A and B are shown apart, each in its own frame.
Chain A
Amino acid sequence: MGEQGLASYFQFNNVNWPNVWTAAWETLWMTVISVLIVAIFGILLGLLLYQTDGSKNPAVKVLNWVVGFFVNVFRSIPFIILIVLLLPVTQVVMGAITGAKAAIPSLVVSAAPFYARLVQIAFNDVDNGVIEAAYAMGANSWQVVRKVLIPESMPALVSGITVTAISLIGYTAMAGAIGAGGLGQLAYTDGFQSYNNAITLAATVVIVIIVFAFQYLGDWITRKVDKR
């Protein structure tokens, strides 16, 4: 236990660096895996919202409403409550309720609806004339999605997943506080609960670096795919 003044932030001899790297690795792992799953589910859900929007068919209208409703509900639940709410589900799906693996279901459930809305907006922004042209050339709906909708909205899809990934990093830290591991847990248990502010600062710096790295990578890819 160190001293508790401002100087305590800089008592780096109290920091067990291998633990920091392990925690950073756990955070990265949780983030990357959940971003991948969120990207898939988000695009599927966003596509569903986009395709069912504005339909005159009553069954499709109901589907759009139901999907939209669930997306809005899961987007509104504060993450810390969502984790607790989903504990039984996590137990069934992942076979555990602690550790990085156990954080994945709640991370996905909270971020996928958010990304789905961004995907829907991105698809709505695709020029209708181009979609009409594709149909006029004899494309079927699946070809329009694969060859027009997704490529033509790629910059927005990438910048959307970047924003989502960054909020996911924030969520992993919260999940860490209740046992998911990673930098959040490190800062909470080894830092806060052990009166070791230097560890909290180290965890903060590493997480900021991770966030910046994601932002930079996302911006770079967005620029790369935008040929407008």
Chain B
Amino acid sequence: MIELKNISKTFQTKEGEVRAVKDINLTINSGEVYGIVGFSGAGKSTLVRMLNGLETPTSGEVSIDGIRIDNLSGEALRKQRKKIGMIFQHFNLLWSRTVLENIMFPMELSGISKEERTKKAQNLAELVGLGDRVHSYPSQLSGGQKQRVGIARALANDPDILISDEATSALDPQTTDEVLDLLEDINRQMNLTIVIITHEMHVIRRLANSVAVMDDGGLIEKGPVSTVFTTPQEELTKRFVSSEVDNSQTPDIQQITADLIKKYPNGKIVSLKFHGDQVKLPIVTEMIREFPDVTMSILEGSIHQIGDQQSAIGTLFVQLLGEPAEVEGALDFLNKMRVETKVINNG
């Protein structure tokens, strides 16, 4: 278990004091995938670097499984760091070493025999799908392959914790998903605690169980991913969530919406949000049967699974036409079925 208590960090710069992290309290359970999301400069990197002592808090306590990390130094700190793997946005591989030698690097630091580390590095290379590229140099690999090497290297010392610092931010969407799949497998197979920092809500949705939102050094919201995705409280969190699950703001859809409003000035543009098992129910069909005089045009719809795939969130963006009383009745019906409705344009 990772515990952060009242963590603050202040940097002295020429322009004066910068408070990078402000009074953060956070508990991360063992085996959990914990996402920390925020824009760049929000303090995420500084915060996670306290877990392996690359940064020390100005005040507050960092402990892992009851051991204080923030006041470790020298050999004790290095020993602790070997139990924490880390992967980076720019991979940070040694270009002078082959794939195999890069994976062996942490084991060399731990003084594992050459024979043993060669064997283990080979196994790890196979685990990440690079068994046939072990003698290549990083410059011969694609971005996704480099990150796979980074992951294999991070696992070399059998860590308890894996820190991912924007590990997919330099990758294209498809490669990102491949790397996320790999991390998901690793979390499941090795029961590793994974701490992810990212600015992409997609990564959180795909991988994390819990999420914390950081803004300007402070923690503004935290909780299980399914809760934060379905009922975000803070404005910034809402923006992050809708950037991932709400596709209704693309220029194409806005154009069609504008056309429809012009054509049917009395229609109501409504966004419907379905949570959990609601996404599997024929709620809209029932509504139309109840209110047969209401006409509906679908503008956009999507479903996203959340976190451990136990939960889902669906959005439907529609125009409703008909007698005002009928349309109101339809909306009431949806509300009664606990569908979240939001009227975007009243006609």
A residues apposed to B, CB below 8 Å: 127, 129-130, 132-140, 143, 147-148, 151-152, 154, 225, 227-228
Contact = CB atoms under 8 A, between A and B. Distances in A.
Interface of B: 52, 54, 78-82, 84, 86, 88, 90, 92-97, 105-106, 108-110, 137-139, 153, 157
Contact of B108 (A129, A132, A147, A228): A147
Contacts of B84: 136
A132 B95 contact: no
A135 B54 contact: yes
A144 to B, nearest CB: 10
B163 to A, nearest CB: 8
A56 to B, nearest CB: 10
Contacts, number: 61
Nearest to A139: B109
A227 B88 contact: no
B52 A136 contact: yes
B96 A138 contact: no
A135 B78 CA distance: 8
Contacts of A133: 86, 88, 92
Contacts of B90: 127, 129
A52 to B, nearest CB: 20
B96 A154 contact: yes
Contact of A151 (B88, B92, B96, B139): B96
Contact of B81 (A136, A143, A227): A136
Contacts of B95: 152, 227-228
Contacts of B88: 129, 133
B92 A130 contact: yes
A145 to B, nearest CB: 13
Contacts of B93: 130
A151 B138 CA distance: 14
A138 B86 contact: no
B109 A130 contact: no
Given A129-B92, A151-B97, A152-B95, A227 B139 contact: yes
B223 to A, nearest CB: 29
A133 B163 CA distance: 12
A143 B82 CA distance: 14
B116 to A, nearest CB: 17
27 contacts: A129-B88, A129-B92, A130-B92, A130-B93, A132-B54, A133-B86, A134-B105, A135-B54, A135-B81, A136-B52, A137-B81, A137-B82, A137-B86, A138-B81, A138-B109, A138-B110, A139-B109, A143-B109, A147-B109, A151-B94, A151-B96, A151-B97, A152-B95, A154-B96, A227-B138, A227-B139, A228-B95
A131 to B, nearest CB: 9
Contacts of B52: 136
Contacts of A148: 94
Nearest to A136: B86
Contact of A152 (B78, B86, B94): B94
A228 B78 contact: no
B69 to A, nearest CB: 13
B105 to A, nearest CB: 7
Contacts of B78: 138-140
Contacts of B108: 147
A152 B96 contact: yes
A48 to B, nearest CB: 22
Contacts of B54: 132, 135-136
A140 B109 CA distance: 9
A55 B16 CA distance: 19
A12 to B, nearest CB: 48
B105, B139, B153: which has the most chain A beta carbons within 10 Å?
B105
A228 B139 contact: yes
Contacts of A225: 96
Nearest to A140: B78
B52, B97, B109, B153: which has the most chain A beta carbons within 10 Å?
B109
A138 B92 contact: no
A23 to B, nearest CB: 40
Contacts of B82: 137-138
Nearest to B78: A138
B92 A132 contact: yes
